[in-house]
């Protein structure tokens, strides 16, 4: 009796891309707001760069939520769209 020989080849990059895509989809469903620290993590951009290039833009100021002297928050989806608009203008 001959035993079957099974060989599997995996593309590591495709697997990583697939996992990242699924995580992003999941994050969009669960992330309601984010702060600058979360932006730093998710965008791979520095805090100073985000402040200068995005957060001082009037469109981002318009959607910023903050209690007096409190933590600044942005709704995830609208701020993501504004950030994409800003980047398209570069």
2-39 pLDDT tens trace: 788 888 888 888 888 888 888 777 766 677 888 999 99
Judged on CB neighbours under 10 Å (0-12, 13-18, 19+), 1 is exposed
HSE toward the beta carbon, residue 8, CA cutoff 13 A = 2
Q: What is the rounded average pLDDT of the residues 60-88? A: 91
Quote the number of domains for the chain: 1
**Strand 64-65 vs strand 33-34: parallel, antiparallel, or unpaired?**
unpaired
In this model, does residue 89 exceed pLDDT 70?
Answer: yes
Residue 25 lies in a domain: no
Residue 11 lies in a domain: no
Q: CA angle at residue 54 from 22 to 18, to 5 degrees? A: 10
pLDDT at position 28 is 67
Distance CA 62, CA 75 (A): 11
Per the prediction, the chain carries an average pLDDT of 87
Q: Is the pTM of this model over 0.85?
A: no
**Domain span including residue 49:** 32-88
Residue 83 lies in a domain: yes
Residue 80 lies in a domain: yes
Name the E strands within 1-90.
33-34, 64-65, 73-75
Residue 18 lies in a domain: no
Residue 50 lies in a domain: yes
């Amino acid at each position: 009796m001959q035993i079957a020989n099974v060989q599997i080849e995996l593309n590591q990059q495709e697997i990583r891309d697939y996992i990242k895509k699924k995580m992003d989809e999941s994050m969009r469903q669960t992330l309601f707001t984010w702060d600058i620290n979360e932006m730093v993590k998710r965008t791979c951009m520095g805090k100073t760069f985000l402040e200068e290039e995005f957060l001082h833009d009037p469109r981002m100021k318009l959607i910023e939520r903050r209690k007096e002297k409190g933590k600044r928050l942005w709704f995830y989806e609208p701020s993501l769209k504004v950030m994409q608009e800003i980047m398209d203008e570069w």
